[in-house]
Amino acid sequence: MQLLLQVCARVLLGVTCLAGFCRAQDFQVPAVASAGDEANISTAGSGKATFYLIGPGVSRKSEVNLGESIHLQAQDTRTAGDYLAIVCSSTCRSAGFYVSAAKPASLTFLVHPSRVPVAQSDAVSGVALAFDQFHNLILHSLTVNFQLTAGNASLLSRQVPTQNGAAWFRALSGKSAGLLQVTAAVDELSARRAVQQVASDPCNLRITGQRTKTGITVQSEPVRDCAGNPVPDGTIVTFTATDANGKSSVDAPIKRGIAQAQMLAFGAASISAASGVVMGNEVRVGAQ
Amino acid sequence: MKFALPITLVVLTVALMVAGLVWTGHAGGTVGIAAGSAMYGLTPKADTPEHALANLLADAQRRNWDRAYADISKTSDVDESSFIQDWIGSNGGLRSFSSLEGFDSRPMHITNDEAQMRVRLHWTTPVGPIEDVRDFHLIKEGDVWKTVWPKVQIPSVPAQVVPVTYLRWDLVTGGAADEWGSKNVDAPHVRIISMNAVDSAEGAVVMGEVVNEDTIPAFVNVNAALVDGVGNAIDQENSFDKIAHILLPKQVTPYRIDFPTISLKSVKNVRMDVKATLVPASADPVIGVMNQKVESDVQGKSILHGDLLNESGQTVNIPHVVASFYDNNGKVVWVADGYVDRALLPQSSEPFAVEIPRSLAGKVQNFHVVVNQYSLGRS
């Protein structure tokens, strides 16, 4: 609604000026203004005038004395963007000025994903946006320093200038499972995010079987991915035993790196294992 | 004279009512005996195997246990409490929440002293109607027939301590005051690894398998939309209970989506969509599926049967089996499911069976079974 009023006011004043009701009225708007800074608009002449200020977050009317400075308070210019100043006495005159964002006060940092398998190219991405203390997006170019560290090792350090307020990166995930710290910094400001690097699919899934009184105990060797990271506990390994009585299968979760299951097979049995779409070796266990 | 017609009508009505109550058992069709009589004291004398069995089942249906127990032969190796438990279930199993809606029976073999009867028991359960086929042996004791009740195998679990050291995953969600941009944990990554659409007797069926590729548990649901030649959606359904919804990391589940009354002839495309959300879960209990075998039952149907073995220390109240069947190319040709009506006690086993359609039985070369478990007091 406020925006609509501003637009209407600008249009009306513009039409009024174009119709010849605006005549020269000397005043000087600030050449450079920063959000939240106080500013002065100098005027020339004498007598009373009406001053209008229309901006992204303000719409103000006041009586001023020509020849004196018009003081803009900090709250008038909190929002960055285009402002229009209009001074009307017998005639009206307008001038526009731009209020830019103040210095960076906060950094919004989005990192995706929160969890990533190791050794995946272009798997981690992040975007940083700098804002001033009034939550104005800082559009002028800043340099954002992105750092990715896993443990004590630095995986990436890159300085990226912002474009239209945003800076971003894309990187491959590390080779070790664990926490990946991702930091974005602008001057003294920094924001930190964590990405969990997890083991990839199991690699070289190997199992052994041993006959017991109650059947066959089958267990895997420590389950690791191709980079040697232990596959997280709780991951399902499906053991399948086939003997003369049919097929038996157990979805066994990995516990302390090893999956183990008890199979009811009394004759000679062949046992295989799979985890997700990854197949393991097959072993044969003789009859009881 | 003026009372003759009303009196005749009243007498005729009463006669028909009595006849209806007494001979209800004979009105169930050509080979069956319908559910028992509607009024106490009017059950027919058990002078035939059909009457004897109908009396027993009607008493069981009414939960008149003393009368039902009196209907079985003294030679039965079962006490009354075990007999009752056989009917009403225990330990929060599916049978505990079921009731016998009806039954129909037909004789298999009858001599002067012995009879073999096959009964279809129609149960109403929280998971839908379930049909149970049982064979009963009856013998003649004096001038009445009695049912020989088979020995009830109630699992006996010795007192023991079963340590549970499997993982469980808890979920902590971010609060409302979190900084913008810090965001929450990503949803689990799941993938449909196979899909097959076929026409069945009941309509179109879309089935396949889904894998949880992530390192965290996922609650999974598969949706499918059938699309016609001009791109309009004909119907949209989901896998409902024909899937193992909670998938642990790297676990694979079959899914089946039914589109009743729709033929694939009118379908040009199938849009698949798998939804996965992060949920708290536990890796316990572990349930083994033992002695799986496809065989023909007494009715000539192809049945995959086996035993579920609870390897943990926790009672699984309602086990649910979902099986995928593959052809010789490894393609999923059918997915079937079945509930086990008895609770799966710790360290004990219960049989299960799922049916394979007759038209597909010849194609099935391999199968994979997963077990859903519902436990009271756990979500």
pLDDT, tens digit (0-9, with 9 covering 90-100), for A167-224 = 999 999 988 999 999 999 999 999 999 999 999 999 989 999 999 887 899 999 999 9
Q: How far is CA A261 from CA B23, B105, B270, in A?
A: 56, 43, 39
Q: Most B CBs within 10 Å: which of A236, A237, A264, A275, as the mutation test of the B interface?
A: A236
Rounded to whole angstroms, the Cα distance separating A257 from A238 reads: 15
Query: Residue A112 maps to which CATH number?
Result: 2.60.40.10
Q: Looking at residue A65, what is its pLDDT? A: 92
Cβ neighbours for B294, distance < 8 A, ≥ 6 positions apart? B302, B303, B304, B356, B361, B364, B367
**% residues pLDDT > 70 (chain A):** 91
| Domain span at A156 | 104-198
User: How far away is chain A from the Cα of B167, in angstroms, using its nearest Cα?
Assistant: 6
Task: Please identify which residue in the block is written with the tokens 């879309």.
Answer: B206
CB B44 within 8 A of CB B25: yes
Return the number of other C-beta atoms located less than 10 Å from residue A193's C-beta.
Answer: 19
Task: Please tell me whether residues A111 and A189 are part of one structural domain.
Answer: yes
Rounded to whole angstroms, the Cα distance separating B331 from B326 reads: 5
Reported confidence tier of residue B36, pLDDT bands at 50, 70, 90: very low
Q: Which residues of A touch B217 (CB under 8 A)?
A: 234
The beta-carbon neighbor of A114 closest among B179, B186, B211 is B186
B213 reaches A (C-beta below 8 A) = yes
Contact state of B166 with A234 under an 8 Å Cβ cutoff: yes
Q: How far is CA A123 from CA A118, A120, A169, A178, in A?
A: 9, 5, 11, 15
Task: Please tell me whether residues A94 and A110 are part of one structural domain.
Answer: no
User: In the structure, how many helices (H) and strands (E) does chain B have?
Assistant: 4, 19
Cβ neighbours for B5, distance < 8 A, ≥ 6 positions apart? none
Contact state of A236 with B251 under an 8 Å Cβ cutoff: yes
Q: How far is CA A242 from the centre of its chain?
A: 50
Q: Most B CBs within 10 Å: which of A107, A235, A238, as the mutation test of the B interface?
A: A235
Q: Which residues of B touch A109 (CB under 8 A)?
A: 181
Determine the average pLDDT of the residues in A51-55: 94
Task: Please tell me whether residues A85 and A140 are part of one structural domain.
Answer: no
Determine the average pLDDT of the residues in B307-322: 92
Residue, of A230 and B30, whose pLDDT is higher: A230
Strand B318-326 and strand B218-227: pairing?
Answer: unpaired
The beta-carbon neighbor of B215 closest among A198, A277, A278 is A198
Q: Which residues of A touch B286 (CB under 8 A)?
A: 250-253, 261
B29: left (phi over 0), alpha (psi -120 to 50) or beta: left
Task: Please tell me whether residues A73 and A60 are part of one structural domain.
Answer: yes
B249 reaches A (C-beta below 8 A) = yes
Q: Looking at residue B298, what is its pLDDT? A: 77
User: How far away is chain A from the Cα of B278, in angstroms, using its nearest Cα?
Assistant: 13
Model confidence pLDDT, tens digit, residues A86-129:
999 888 999 999 999 999 999 999 999 989 999 899 999 999 99
Rounded to whole angstroms, the Cα distance separating A128 from A184 reads: 7
Q: Which residues of A touch B193 (CB under 8 A)?
A: 277
**% residues pLDDT > 70 (chain B):** 89
Determine the average pLDDT of the residues in A10-30: 58
Task: Please tell me whether residues A95 and A109 are part of one structural domain.
Answer: no
B374 reaches A (C-beta below 8 A) = no
A48 phi/psi in degrees, rounded to 5:
-85, 150
The beta-carbon neighbor of B167 closest among A113, A234, A251 is A234
Nearest CA in chain B to A195: B185
Q: Looking at residue B176, what is its pLDDT? A: 57
User: How far away is chain B from the Cα of A254, in angstroms, using its nearest Cα?
Assistant: 8
| CA-based nearest residue to B57, from B68, B66, B48, B46 | B68
Name which of A14-28, B40-54, B341-355 the model is least confident about.
Answer: A14-28
User: How far away is chain B from the Cα of A44, in angstroms, using its nearest Cα?
Assistant: 47
Q: Which residues of A touch B288 (CB under 8 A)?
A: 248-250, 261-264
Q: Which residues of A touch B (CB under 8 A)?
A: 108-110, 112-115, 191, 193, 198-199, 201-202, 232-238, 245-253, 255, 261-264, 275-278
DSSP A168-185: EEEE---SS-EEEEEEEE
Task: Please tell me whether residues A38 and A109 are part of one structural domain.
Answer: no
Rounded to whole angstroms, the Cα distance separating A101 from B347 reads: 68
Interior/surface letters B189-215, b for 16+ CB within 10 angstroms, e for the rest? bbebebbbbeebeeebbbbbbbbbbbb
Task: Please tell me whether residues A82 and A113 are part of one structural domain.
Answer: no
Q: What single letter denotes the amino acid at residue A60?
A: R
Interior/surface letters A232-265, b for 16+ CB within 10 angstroms, e for the rest? bbbbbbbbbbbbebbbbbbbbbbeeebbbbbbbb
Task: Please tell me whether residues A110 and A74 are part of one structural domain.
Answer: no
Determine the average pLDDT of the residues in B312-326: 93
Strand, coil or helix: what is B135? strand
Determine the average pLDDT of the residues in B279-286: 89
B311 reaches A (C-beta below 8 A) = yes
Among A177, A198, A219, residue at a domain's last position: A198
Q: Which long-range contacts (CB under 8 A, 24 or more apart) does A230-234 make?
A: A230/A177, A230/A199, A230/A257, A231/A199, A231/A202, A231/A257, A231/A275, A232/A177, A232/A198, A232/A199, A232/B215, A232/B249, A233/A257, A233/B167, A234/B166, A234/B167, A234/B169, A234/B215, A234/B217, A234/B248, A234/B249, A234/B283
Query: Strand order of the sheet with strand A246-253?
Result: A278-285, A269-275, A236-243, A246-253, B287-296, B302-310, B349-356
Q: Looking at residue B21, what is its pLDDT? A: 57
**% residues pLDDT > 90 (chain B):** 55
Query: Residue A208 maps to which CATH number?
Result: 2.60.40
Q: Looking at residue A124, what is its pLDDT? A: 94
Nearest CA in chain B to A115: B186
Among A100, A120, A137, residue at a domain's last position: A100
DSSP A211-252: EETTEEEEEEPPPEETTSPBPPTT-EEEEEEEETTEEEEEEE
Q: Which residues of B touch A275 (CB under 8 A)?
A: 250
User: How far away is chain A from the Cα of B173, in angstroms, using its nearest Cα?
Assistant: 13
Q: Measure the CA angle with vertex B34, ends B30 and B35; round to 5°.
A: 175
B26 reaches A (C-beta below 8 A) = no
The beta-carbon neighbor of A234 closest among B283, B367, B368 is B283
Number of domains in chain A: 3
Task: Please tell me whether residues A72 and A23 are part of one structural domain.
Answer: yes
Radius of gyration of chain B (CA): 26
Q: Looking at residue A178, what is its pLDDT? A: 92
Task: Please tell me whether residues A182 and A219 are part of one structural domain.
Answer: no
Model confidence pLDDT, tens digit, residues B147-198:
999 888 777 788 888 887 778 888 887 665 556 666 678 899 999 999 999 9
Task: Please tell me whether residues A63 and A126 are part of one structural domain.
Answer: no
Among A80, A100, A120, residue at a domain's last position: A100
Q: Looking at residue A25, what is its pLDDT? A: 57
pLDDT over threshold 90, residue B34: no
Tokens encoding A77: 């210019």
Task: Please tell me whether residues A178 and A226 are part of one structural domain.
Answer: no
